[in-house]
Amino acid sequence: MRVVVFPAYRENPFLGMLLSGAKRDGAEIVDTRTLDELAAALAVRPESTVLSVHWTNPVAQSTRNPAIAVRNALQFRRILRSAKAAGAHVVWTVHNVLPHGARFPRIERWLHRLLAAQADRIHVMHPDTAALTAPHYRLPDDRVRLVPHPSYVGAVGPRADREVERARLGLGAREAAVLLLGQMRPYKGVLELIDAAGAAHRPGGLTLLLAGNATPDEAAAIEAAIAARPGLRAVCQLRYIDDAELPRWFAAADVVALPYRRILNSGSALLAATFGTPVLLPDEPHLADLGAHDWVTLFSGADGLRAALEAVRVDDAAARASAIAFASTWTGEDAGDAYRELLHEALVS
């Protein structure tokens, strides 16, 4: 079996975990990032090939020109149809209802409807995915398969020493450290988190840890928001955080805050659980099951986020142990084996 991956963003460890079962099974994995690379890869032995589609970024988000975005979308449709006519099969993973911050929402809806129509199997990571996508596009029930998002056990480094990492950042023994890690995109609610942290009143103090890449405009907005809250302490490293650094940030944090808008599959929460760090999540109906665990706190609105920050427990050993235990129940290896079976199912469909 050949598995053509599009787009192959290998800096995201999720892809490696998902494809690990096929790789163990001896499948040939072909990475592509551009439409031209995709077309060339699908021209080789299409009858034994499964296209594993993930994000649509290279199609409609690689340009600011709507005419080019339309041209790319039509090219993508031609590639899909040609490959399927030649015997290839398609598995599409639904990561989000629609891409966050999409420049051309109408084109994205069209692309998602195209994938829903062309995919032999549709991989979802949450059982409510079809209901959440329904206002935008329909997922055919007979082709939808559930393989939940795994934790990152085995895909990231070991946990770091809490005391060492907190001392490195100058954190006091009673000081609550709240982490937001990853690209500082507007949909992640970083400015809302700064406002809530600045308004929170908590014995022992509270420090925001903001670690991740930001555009110059995003960095300027973050710095201005922090400056507008003179009583707020924040440690900011607005740059790319590599995998080797991840354990250090999670070790220092008492909680990871995820005030995201339109969250579907919370890989960030599962990454936090892997390192044993409790999580704050929006109180969305499809996150209720996750919110039932004692390492997760759900909040509603700005006041709810502020209250959740005020209630953060410093060094909550019980919640850390619960998160680690949860992470061990469904790992990347487990998901990789399940996804391998899904690829085989698509190939013989």
Q: What is the pLDDT of residues 224-280, one digit of tens each?
A: 999 999 999 999 999 999 999 999 999 999 999 999 987 888 899 999 999 999 999
Domains of the chain: 2-150+331-347 (3.40.50.2000), 162-327 (3.40.50.2000)
Distance CA(247)–CA(250), nearest Å, equals 5
Could you tell me the pTM of the whole model?
Answer: 0.94
Q: What is the pLDDT of residues 147-186, one digit of tens each?
A: 999 999 999 999 999 999 999 999 999 999 999 999 999 9
Distance CA(270)–CA(157), nearest Å, equals 14
Give me the pLDDT at residue 154, please.
92
Give me the pLDDT at residue 265, please.
82
Q: What is the pLDDT of residues 176-234, one digit of tens each?
A: 999 999 999 999 999 999 999 999 999 889 999 999 999 999 999 999 999 999 999 99
Give me the pLDDT at residue 82, please.
98
